[in-house]
């Protein structure tokens, strides 16, 4: 049985008004147009749906059944229309992000600001390593990915939105703290606690070491920045992390940034998504918000990072 949405609206109006004429007036249609749609609905059902009693009509048993389903159809369509109006106006929706573990240090604040602007949008964020992020991009089952250097792929759209300087950190009582212009050769005599092979931080470091012809003594490998920071504080070696991850430890004096030639290693954070995936209104709005935020706050943030790094004796080679 085929029923059009036009027929369901008309039949509900006829049932509620008890009159073809009044239904036509309510719907701003002609009486013949209403009668024709009721007849087509009866043909589709294969049963009479109304009985005429003078100027009024009465529903048959089949008509009462039809009214039940027409009301459900009309109510569902109304809910769908309201829902999509909310989506267009960003009154609701879902946003599923995947972010690199280092991004998590500032992503939470960004999401909190975004949520205050659009409280109806539900945000879910997965924090993971680079290997898993690459798998997520391959499968395309997240709206947006925030990460370091994205893979070189024509299937992805990647936009840089924030600086990510990598610095050398040491425990507050390390002998190299306060030294000026430490060379890479001198640094190579120290043990290091580094991120795992394949991580963005490790790859950026390895590119720098290859250019300098330097090898570092890797004391330990760890898969989280928190673990590296704790290991460095405990005196297990030096570490190389994003400056974003050590703000609190620098403020409390538990860690120090060393002034090393060639550092900071200047990298970028990227917003990445598949080109073949249509972004939801919520994802489009978050992308717009993030890039606007980066444009508005980026200059101030870069100046602040540069000032903090300079104040602790950090100079990069660009």
Residue by residue, pLDDT tens for the chain (318 residues) are: 888 999 999 999 999 999 999 999 999 999 999 999 999 999 999 999 999 888 889 999 999 999 999 999 999 998 888 777 767 767 778 899 999 988 888 888 889 999 998 998 999 999 998 889 999 998 888 999 999 888 888 889 999 998 889 999 999 999 999 999 999 899 899 999 999 888 888 888 999 888 888 888 888 999 888 999 999 999 999 999 999 899 899 999 999 999 999 899 988 999 999 988 888 888 999 999 999 888 876 656 555 555 655 555 544 443
Task: Report pLDDT for 51.
Answer: 94
Q: Is 59 left (phi over 0), alpha (psi -120 to 50) or beta?
A: beta
Task: Report pLDDT for 278.
Answer: 82
User: What is the residue whose two structure tokens read 């991850």?
Assistant: 245
User: What is the residue whose two structure tokens read 């997965």?
Assistant: 126
Q: Are 254 and 145 in contact (CB under 8 A)?
A: no
Task: Report pLDDT for 308.
Answer: 55
DSSP one-letter code for 202: H
Task: Report pLDDT for 303.
Answer: 58
Q: Are 229 and 128 in contact (CB under 8 A)?
A: no
Q: Per-residue pLDDT tens for 264-302?
A: 998 899 999 998 888 888 899 999 999 988 887 665 655
Residues in CB range of 119: below 8 A, 6 or more apart? none
Q: Residue 242, class by beta-carbon neighbours within 10 Å (0-12 exposed, 13-18 middle, 19+ buried)?
A: buried
CATH code of domain 164-267? 3.40.190.10
Ordered DSSP codes for 165-198: EEEEEEETT-TTTT-SSB-HHHHTTSEEEEEPTT
Report which secondary-structure segment, H or E, holds 53: strand 50-53
CATH 3.20.20.70 fits 5-88, yes or no: no
Task: Report pLDDT for 315.
Answer: 47
Three-class DSSP category at 314: coil
Task: Report pLDDT for 318.
Answer: 36
Task: Report pLDDT for 201.
Answer: 87
Q: Measured in Å, how far apart are the chain's first and last C-alpha atoms?
A: 71
**Topology, domain 93-162+268-306:** D-Maltodextrin-Binding Protein; domain 2 (3.40.190)
Determine the Cα–Cα distance for residues 127 and 145; give it in Å rounded to an integer: 10
Determine the Cα–Cα distance for residues 272 and 147; give it in Å rounded to an integer: 8
Q: Are 279 and 197 in contact (CB under 8 A)?
A: no
| Predicted TM-score (pTM) above 0.85 | no
Query: Is the dihedral angle over the CA atoms 306, 310, 313, 316 positive or is it negative?
Result: positive
Q: Are 166 and 265 in contact (CB under 8 A)?
A: yes
Question: What b/e readout covers 94-128, taking b as 16+ CB neighbours within 10 angstroms?
Answer: ebbbbbbbbbbbbbeebbeebeeebeebebebebb
Determine the Cα–Cα distance for residues 203 and 131; give it in Å rounded to an integer: 12
Three-state helix/strand/coil letters over 81-132: HHHHHHHHCCCCEEEEEEEECCCHHHHHHHHHHHHHHCCCEEEEEEEECHHH
Task: Report pLDDT for 153.
Answer: 85
Q: What share of the chain is helix, strand, coil (3-state, %, to 5)?
A: 50, 25, 30
Every domain range in the chain assigned CATH 3.40.190.10: 93-162+268-306, 164-267
Task: Report pLDDT for 317.
Answer: 41
Ordered DSSP codes for 250-312: HHHTSEEE--BTT-SEEEEEEEEEETTSPPPHHHHHHHHHHHHHHHHHHHHHHHHHHHHHHHT
Q: Residue 81, class by beta-carbon neighbours within 10 Å (0-12 exposed, 13-18 middle, 19+ buried)?
A: exposed
């Amino acid at each position: 049985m085929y029923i059009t949405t036009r027929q369901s609206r008309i039949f509900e109006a006829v049932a509620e008004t008890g009159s073809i004429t009044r239904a036509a007036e309510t719907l701003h249609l002609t009486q013949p147009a209403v009668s024709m749609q009721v007849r087509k609905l009866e043909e589709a059902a294969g049963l009479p749906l109304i009985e005429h009693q003078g100027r009024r009509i009465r529903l048959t048993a089949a008509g009462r059944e039809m009214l039940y389903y027409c009301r459900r159809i009309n109510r569902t369509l109304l809910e769908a229309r309201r829902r999509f109006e909310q989506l267009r106006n960003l009154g609701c929706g879902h946003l599923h992000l995947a972010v690199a573990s280092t991004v998590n240090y500032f992503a939470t604040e960004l999401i909190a600001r975004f949520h205050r602007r659009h409280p109806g949008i539900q945000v879910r964020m997965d924090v993971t390593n680079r290997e898993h992020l690459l798998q997520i991009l391959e499968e395309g089952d997240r709206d947006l990915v925030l990460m370091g250097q994205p893979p070189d792929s024509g299937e992805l759209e990647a936009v840089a939105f924030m600086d990510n300087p990598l610095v050398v950190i040491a425990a507050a009582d390390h002998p190299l703290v306060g030294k000026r212009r430490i060379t890479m050769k001198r640094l190579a005599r120290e043990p290091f606690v580094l991120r795992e092979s394949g991580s963005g931080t490790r790859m950026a470091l390895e590119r720098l070491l290859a250019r300098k012809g330097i090898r570092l003594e890797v004391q330990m490998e760890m898969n989280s920045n928190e673990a590296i920071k704790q290991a460095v504080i405990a005196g297990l070696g030096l570490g190389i992390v994003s400056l974003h991850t050590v703000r609190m430890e620098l403020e409390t004096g538990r860690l120090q940034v060393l002034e090393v030639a060639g550092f900071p290693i200047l990298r970028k954070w990227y917003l990445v998504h598949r080109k073949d995936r249509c972004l939801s209104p919520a994802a489009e709005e978050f992308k717009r918000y993030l890039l606007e935020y980066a444009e508005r706050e980026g200059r101030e943030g870069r100046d602040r990072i540069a000032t903090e790094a300079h104040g602790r004796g950090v100079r990069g080679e660009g």
